[in-house]
Amino acid sequence: MAQKLLAPILNGEMEWVYEEADQLFLQKEEEEAVRHTLIKNIHMTGEELSHMRFYSVIFENCSFQDCSFLRGEFNDVVFRSCDVSNSVFTDSYFNRTELSHCKGMGAIFGGSTILHMKVTNCNLDYANFDSSKLEHVHFLESQLRGSFLTQCHFKDVIWNGADLERASFFKTLLRGTDFTTSNIKGLILSDDAKEISGAVVDLYQAAELSRYLGVTIKS
């Protein structure tokens, strides 16, 4: 039985509100975690924010394009209407997080641990999750076209209305994964397509996947 997806723990009204980039830079300089804070309307490009820690934080209408959050820590964090396209989250830790109506095109999450994450109405085209651990992660009505979900460990990863066209699952085992509500056209798999063994698909998707197995289906 799948474990219940845990939502971020946010205790009422936030203690702090950040609306200036300098407030984030000060926390980084002092190597202090950002706690119980609403971060809104901050726009950055190409900034260095690696090793930062966020606990019980809401990011709202923020843009962090081409920024580095390398080895960051995100506990009980919500991203709403944010843009983190081409930013780097390599080797980061996420626990009880939500992304809603966000853009993360080309974002890099490689080598990260991602636990209890809900992704809703987001565009993560060409995002890279290579060698990441994803447990209790739900993708709802989101785009991950051309994304890299290679060599990942999956447990209770749910795809509901996801667009995974041309996504790569090379060396990621998908046993028990239900793709019936999602677009899986043109998936990239290994030569023997062992990744899809035990996956759940509908009749049309089975016909699409049959080409990996050297099978021809006649109507």
Query: How much is the pLDDT for 167?
Result: 98
Cα-to-chain-centroid distance, residue 169: 14
pTM: 0.93
| Three-state DSSP state, 25 | helix
* pLDDT under 70: residue ranges of the chain: 1-2, 214-219
Query: How much is the pLDDT for 214?
Result: 63
Distances (CA, A) of 79 to 55, 103, 122, 125, 209: 13, 10, 10, 17, 35
Query: How much is the pLDDT for 219?
Result: 60
